Structure 1
Amino acid sequence: MAEIFAETYRADGRPYWWDELVSAPPNWPQDETLFDVAIIGSGFTGLSAALEFAEAGLTVLVIEAERLGHGASTRNGGMITGSLHETPEDLAKSIGTELAESMSREARGLVPFMASQMDRFAIDCDFRIGDHFMGAYTAKHYEALSRSLPQYQRRGLPMRMVPKADQGRYIATDHYQGGRLHEQCASVHPAKYHRGLVQNASRLGVQFVEQCRVTDVTRAGEHFRLQTARGPITARRVLMATNGYTSPALGWYRRRVVPMQSSIIATEELGEARMASLFPTGATVNDTKRILSYFRPSPDGKRLIYGGRATFQPIDVNETARRLRRMMLGIFPQLDDVKISHCWGGFVAFTFDFLPHAGQQDGVDYAMGYCGSGVALASWLGHRTALRMLGRASPSAFEARPFKTRPFYTGNPWMLPAIGEYFRVRDRIDYALFRARQKKAA
């Protein structure tokens, strides 16, 4: 077997993005310090909220179990689509028309919100508004995308169908049977974005503590007492912003999210000309498979960043890279000569209703459960939850539904390997039926 790893490849699972990470100076507060707000988690949710609290003049402490940005905020693909998992009408059937419209309206505002945040805080993170192409895995999938298109168009979203004969204008592959184009999505360098949030928060006086896992949160009179690996912390308000990295010690929250591994590879540099031939408009891409793929050009336009569900159980990072590369070649067989420079993974958090949630439990506020679309949703819900806590905004629509778990679920997603294999089989069946219809038609 030919060597697939570039000379610069690292087998330690370090993300391609991490050259842009920043750390905060050690700042362990004195025991008697009373913070206005303690935020558990240093990702996009926690930092977006911290900025609002600090601008309002509150004292804020962000507590991180690892190093700042250790979780999915600096491990993701950096893609922003501004949509939820269900179509607006399917969502209305499950939760009611009024609430579905409110959620869809918030989702439609995600790209403009992100653009405004970049301007507001002068964050240099390769933020780019552009095309997003959703590739149809089979002809039936294309038909389903086409049927749902008017739902988005009626709500003002600039979407249109792209038949297979025209998809080469956006992506150099025959793998898909056409797809749907959304012309106002966005992409970002996630670690640079995270760095910008940290720098702005630090400038506003937010304090940070790393390597400090929170093990319990209890009421202490009018305040909250947080037990941590490094000692107690006291705060007037607490925001839980841990998403797919919620500790088992934080049982109520952990029982409501299903952490799921997502993995990504970065290729070696391919050169701008070759990358432009693969992505003529620089579009970001995902597809309609149940075990989906998502991919994009790197912000500098020199590499392919390719992600997917390579596995639903722990495997070696090198084997993950091999699997993802095989998946990538299924879409771009012309990249058979290309080597891998990075492979890494992280946890997204799904919920049992496939919707993000925010709200309050026993006086502790929370926002989490972004179901794989956390770059903008986490930023938005961190921002909006903070404004609601400050009394400056009404609750988000994502606070309206109870945050439910399932009987006997303790936070350990033991069922994922079986569910993942079931979805893989369903994808294979879909494709086999599609090929059978093609042969019959021929």
Structure 2
Amino acid sequence: MDDIFTRDYRPDGLPYWWPERISGLVNWQPDTTVFDVAVIGSGLTGLSAALEFAEAGHSVLVIEAETLGHGASTRNGGLITGALHDTPEHMAKSLGSELAESMSREARGLVPFMANQMERFAIDCDFRIGDHFMGAYTAAHYESLARSMSQYQRRGLPMQMVQKGCQGNYIATDHYQGGRVHEQCASVHPAKYHRGLAQNAARLGVQFIEDCRVTEVSRTAEQFRLQTTRGTVTARRVLMATNGYTSPALSWYRRRIVPMQSSIIATEELGAERMASLFPTGATVNDTRRILSYFRPSPDGKRLIYGGRATFRPIDITETARRLRRMMLTIFPQLADAKISHCWGGFVAFTFDFLPHAGQQDGVDYAMGYCGSGVAMASWLGHRTALRMLGSAAPSAFEARPLTTRPFYTGNPWMLPAIGEYFRIRDRIDYALFRAGQKRAA
């Protein structure tokens, strides 16, 4: 191990968040019980839905193929922006203005929804509302952000453009060419948040089973039979909440989801004073590159949590850490002395139209495909889908479009290395054009 790692660095890829992860809730053994609802997946989607079903008096079983919260729900960076992949006006061109506005409206409500959930269920998870800075990779990217800002301001979002000379008020770097600040985003400790949802669900009578992979779902006139590696489960309704961890056995869903690896490192403790110098307002950050970075102070304000796509091919977790550290130092060269204490990864799930989706297929309800913004969107669509299933809410706008696939796609994202290299080349071209423009101006 080289000297960029702390002495207690573990090359097994355990997330920095996991000491706060839930355990000990498993309480179901195969029997003849017919559940009102079986939820497949114990992440934020599944738990948010299970809470609504249980509060309405329904019996619920949450089925997890690994351990509770094993997937992205406890591996993510904990950023909450309420952002969709595209701007409202671009969405309107492909979706129509009414549907695009409905989706945008739901996305704008994500931070208030999350704040309400924290209060409603008394979840202590370092939830914090504050600034989010989107760094412009080039001057052209800055102009693009500026052109689209009015679309958000007209919809009541508090945003402002920040020129490069003033970006030090939010982030101590010269790497970006200014950026855009959204003043009402949020952050959370993902494992604590997941734990709070699970504890509330258990209190309301939700049952859980781990190490139980669903291999087949079949339907009769009145109910569903779920064949699992631990026995048969019978339920009146089923919610599929597996997102980037959807099993190949669940082929209809798997063919419509593109799982993509995202990785994160945590530095050693840098101290509150040094971290405050890096992030004067405590802002969370991402940027405009196609191969983007996202990062934030840890909830205790002592470490940097830095994430990105270090590779589109499987590589060793320690090599991933080295690559992410090199990416981090292009933004914060002053952290050359900071050692890495953790590196881990997880799968986000993209859809072919880059939109989250919920709906129903052969009577099975589903919510998935959060395209990298799953902390709040997964919570929201789990909650909203459950309410729709209970008959107490209209369908979400994200149910309006079918969840589609592409010819010959089987769920194996074989094309990602080529797509990733294309995006890297495009980023390099953007930066080369920017540098050439600087030289001409000089």
Is this contact kept in 2: 1:24–1:209, CA < 8 A?
no
Q: Which residue of 2 aligns with 1:249?
A: 249
Is this contact kept in 1: 2:30–2:232, CA < 8 A?
no
Is this contact kept in 2: 1:24–1:208, CA < 8 A?
no
Q: Which residue of 2 aligns with 1:41?
A: 41
Is this contact kept in 1: 2:30–2:230, CA < 8 A?
no
Q: Distance in 1 between matches of 2:370 and 2:173?
A: 30
Q: Which residue of 1 aligns with 2:278?
A: 278
Q: Which residue of 2 aligns with 1:327?
A: 327
Whether 2:316 is the aligned partner of 1:288: answer no
Q: Distance in 2 between matches of 1:417 and 1:302?
A: 35
Q: Distance in 1 between matches of 2:220 and 2:318?
A: 48
Cα shift readout 1:311-368 (whole Å, capped 9, x = no counterpart): 0010000000000000000000000000000000000000000000000000000000
Identity of aligned residues (%): 83
The one-letter code of the counterpart of 2:175 is H
Q: Return the offset for 1:2.
A: 5.9
Q: Return the offset for 1:27.
A: 2.4
Q: Distance in 2 between matches of 1:25 and 1:77?
A: 24
For 1:116-131, list aligned pairs within 5 A: 116-131=116-131
Q: Which residue of 1 aligns with 2:200?
A: 200
Q: Which residue of 1 aligns with 2:81?
A: 81
Q: Return the offset for 1:25.
A: 3.7
Q: Show structure 1 runs of 5+ residues with no match.
A: none
Whether 2:383 is the aligned partner of 1:387: answer no
Q: Which residue of 2 aligns with 1:398?
A: 398
Q: Return the offset for 1:23.
A: 1.6
Whether 2:160 is the aligned partner of 1:160: answer yes
Q: Secondary structure at the match of 1:290?
A: coil
Cα shift readout 1:80-106 (whole Å, capped 9, x = no counterpart): 001101000000001100000000000
The one-letter code of the counterpart of 2:239 is L
Q: Which residue of 1 aligns with 2:91?
A: 91
Q: Return the offset for 1:26.
A: 3.5
Q: Which residue of 2 aligns with 1:139?
A: 139
For 1:300-315, list aligned pairs within 5 A: 300-315=300-315
Q: Distance in 2 between matches of 1:244 and 1:393?
A: 26
Q: Distance in 2 between matches of 1:77 and 1:88?
A: 25
Q: Return the offset for 1:8.
A: 1.4
Q: Return the offset for 1:221.
A: 2.8
Q: Which residue of 2 aligns with 1:222?
A: 222
Q: Secondary structure at the match of 2:300?
A: coil
Q: Distance in 1 between matches of 2:227 and 2:428?
A: 48
Q: Secondary structure at the match of 1:16?
A: coil
For 1:3-82, list aligned pairs within 5 A: 3-82=3-82
Q: Which residue of 2 aligns with 1:107?
A: 107
Q: Return the offset for 1:30.
A: 3.8
Cα shift readout 1:75-129 (whole Å, capped 9, x = no counterpart): 0000000110100000000110000000000000000000000000000000000
Q: TM-score, normalised by structure 1?
A: 0.99
Q: Which residue of 1 aligns with 2:268?
A: 268
Q: Which residue of 1 aligns with 2:185?
A: 185
Q: Which residue of 1 aligns with 2:238?
A: 238
The one-letter code of the counterpart of 2:27 is N
Cα shift readout 1:266-303 (whole Å, capped 9, x = no counterpart): 00000000000000000000000000000000000000
The one-letter code of the counterpart of 2:385 is T
Is this contact kept in 2: 1:14–1:344, CA < 8 A?
yes
Q: Return the offset for 1:22.
A: 1.1
The one-letter code of the counterpart of 2:281 is T
Is this contact kept in 2: 1:71–1:346, CA < 8 A?
yes
Q: Distance in 1 between matches of 2:53 and 2:313?
A: 39
For 1:333-352, list aligned pairs within 5 A: 333-352=333-352
Q: Distance in 2 between matches of 1:13 and 1:257?
A: 24
Cα distance, 1:209–1:2 mapped onto 2, change above 3 Å:
closer
Q: Distance in 2 between matches of 1:47 and 1:126?
A: 19
Q: Secondary structure at the match of 2:224?
A: strand
Q: TM-score, normalised by structure 2?
A: 0.99
Q: Distance in 2 between matches of 1:362 and 1:324?
A: 42
Q: Which residue of 2 aligns with 1:365?
A: 365
Q: Distance in 1 between matches of 2:65 and 2:30?
A: 18
Give structure 1 regions of 4+ aligned residues with deviation exceeding 3 angstroms: none
CA RMSD of aligned residues (A): 0.8
Q: Secondary structure at the match of 1:215?
A: strand
Equivalent residue pairs, number:
442
Q: Return the offset for 1:24.
A: 3.4
Q: Secondary structure at the match of 1:137?
A: coil
For 1:425-440, list aligned pairs within 5 A: 425-440=425-440
Cα shift readout 1:169-214 (whole Å, capped 9, x = no counterpart): 0000000000000000000000000000000000000000000000
The one-letter code of the counterpart of 2:36 is D
Is this contact kept in 2: 1:13–1:344, CA < 8 A?
yes
Cα shift readout 1:382-427 (whole Å, capped 9, x = no counterpart): 0000000000000000000011000000000000000000000100
Q: Show structure 2 runs of 5+ residues with no match.
A: none
Is this contact kept in 2: 1:135–1:179, CA < 8 A?
yes
Q: Distance in 2 between matches of 1:31 and 1:401?
A: 38
Q: Distance in 2 between matches of 1:24 and 1:97?
A: 47
Q: Distance in 2 between matches of 1:398 and 1:4?
A: 44
Cα distance, 1:376–1:25 mapped onto 2, change above 3 Å:
closer
